[in-house]
Amino acid sequence: KPLRSYVLIELKTTKLMPEAAGQLNMYLNYYENEVNDEDDNKPIGIILCTDKDALTVEYALGGLSNNIFASKYTYYIPDKEKLIAEVEKIVRRWND
């Protein structure tokens, strides 16, 4: 079954800052109201950053009604198949 959700990915070259969650939340609201078709699910936001602090993530993302996930990345970019597998893993976890 297709997910039928837009997935917005924001890549940060710094540690996660609370402003990034607010900015992505704004983009998700825009997509939900202006881009989504009526049979689309809510868009999903993923923030990839070079560093994240669990407490910052908890407070920055807490209370937001949109689906936003934050994860740390390294400077190694995986090949296309590995990147697709990782995104699919996140989506499966979200669906569970």
Q: How does pLDDT run across 31-84, given as a tens digit for each residue? A: 989 999 999 988 888 888 777 666 566 546 665 666 665 655 555 556 778 878
Q: How does pLDDT run across 4-13, given as a tens digit for each residue? A: 888 888 887 8
From the candidate CATH numbers 3.40.1350, 2.170.130, 3.30.70, 1.20.140, the one assigned to the domain spanning 7-95: 3.40.1350
Q: Could you tell me which residue, 35 or 23, shows the higher pLDDT? A: 35
Residue-level pLDDT at 5: 84
Residues 6+ apart with CB under 8 A from 6: 31, 35, 36, 40, 43, 44
pTM: 0.60
